[in-house]
Amino acid sequence: MAQIICRSLTLGYESTKVAKNISFSVQRGDYLCIIGENGSGKSTLVKALLGLNPPISGEIEFGDDLRKNEIGYLPQQTQAQRDFPASVEEIVLSGCVNRKGLRPFYSAKERAAADEAMKRLDVLSLKKRCYRELSGGQQQRVLLSRALCATDKLILLDEPVTGLDPKAAEEMYSLIKKLNESGTTVIMVSHDMSAALKYSSHILRMGMESVFFGTTSEYMNSPHYLNRGDLE
């Protein structure tokens, strides 16, 4: 049983369709990269998976013990967040916010979960630091810890290395790979083709005319990849 199965999704807003015929499935432990040009509907697909913007048609099914709202999400950072006055701990803890239901305050268990998530991403030593004073790479790791607080079954990363220098980007990728190896399913939207091919197990390539879904090695032997010259 797959964690997520999408069947012939058509995505868009109200009357405008941005992508159609999208079918794919994600198994536990997969590392799926979603690639495609700007405007091919990657962000819309992310929003559909998160339940923020339901698909126009088609269905998204969750299974294998994964429920809707159990996706750890790493959004693209907004400008407002970059200078937000908050400590690292406050931000990571906010990942637990939906776990606690109507209870107003965090329990010791949730604080321990937050510590654990910070430890896994190597930001525990920054716990008391101010978020806006961290480097871009550190900020991303903090946000990823927050996503892990929400769940460690499946994480969905939207362009996680945008704006990072090559060294920080490489660190980020290897941390994500480590999480994946410890059993967390990864779905990553990426512009970075070489990293996508290097780390992923599956590729979903979105496009106006045709959509590709398969393993990474299948992708590298497909016409999409072999004829990519005319796309880039």
Partner 1 sequence: MISTIADYLQYPFVRNALIVGILVSFCASLLGVTLVLKRFSFIGDGLSHAAFGAMAIAAVLRVNNNMIVVMPITVICAVLILRTGNGRIKGDASVAMLSVGALAIGYLLLNMFPTSTNISGDVCSTLFGSSLILTLSTADVWISVIMSIVLIITFVLFYNKLFAITFDEQFSAATGMRTGLYNTIIAVITAVVIVLAMNLAGSLLTSALIIFPALSAMRVFKGFKSVVICSAAVGVFSSALGIILSILASTPVGSTIVAVQIVVFIAFSAVGKLLQRG
Binding residues (CB under 8 A) for partner 1: these are 50-52, 68-69, 71, 73, 75, 78, 80-81, 84-87, 90-91, 93-95, 97-98, 100, 104-106, 130, 132-133, 146-147, 150
Contact residues for 174 (Cβ-Cβ < 8 A; gap 6+) = none
CB of 219 to partner 1, least distance (A): 27
Distance CA 196, CA 217 (A): 12
Among the listed residues 36, 35, 1, 40, the one whose alpha carbon sits nearest the alpha carbon of residue 18: 40
CB of 220 to partner 1, least distance (A): 32
CB of 41 to partner 1, least distance (A): 17
CB of 142 to partner 1, least distance (A): 11
DSSP 184-216: -EEEEE-S-HHHHHHH-SEEEE--SS--EEEEH
Instruction: Kindly state the helix (H) or strand (E) to which residue 4 belongs, with its residue range.
Output: strand 4-13
Taking the least distance from each CB to partner 1, the nearer of 25 and 76 is 76
Taking the least distance from each CB to partner 1, the nearer of 32 and 93 is 93
Q: How many CB atoms lie within 10 A of CB 19?
A: 23
CB of 128 to partner 1, least distance (A): 8
CB of 86 to partner 1, least distance (A): 4
Distance CA 102, CA 82 (A): 29
Instruction: Kindly state the helix (H) or strand (E) to which residue 219 belongs, with its residue range.
Output: helix 216-220
Q: Could you tell me the two tokens for 1?
A: 């049983």
Among the listed residues 49, 28, 65, 63, the one whose alpha carbon sits nearest the alpha carbon of residue 181: 28
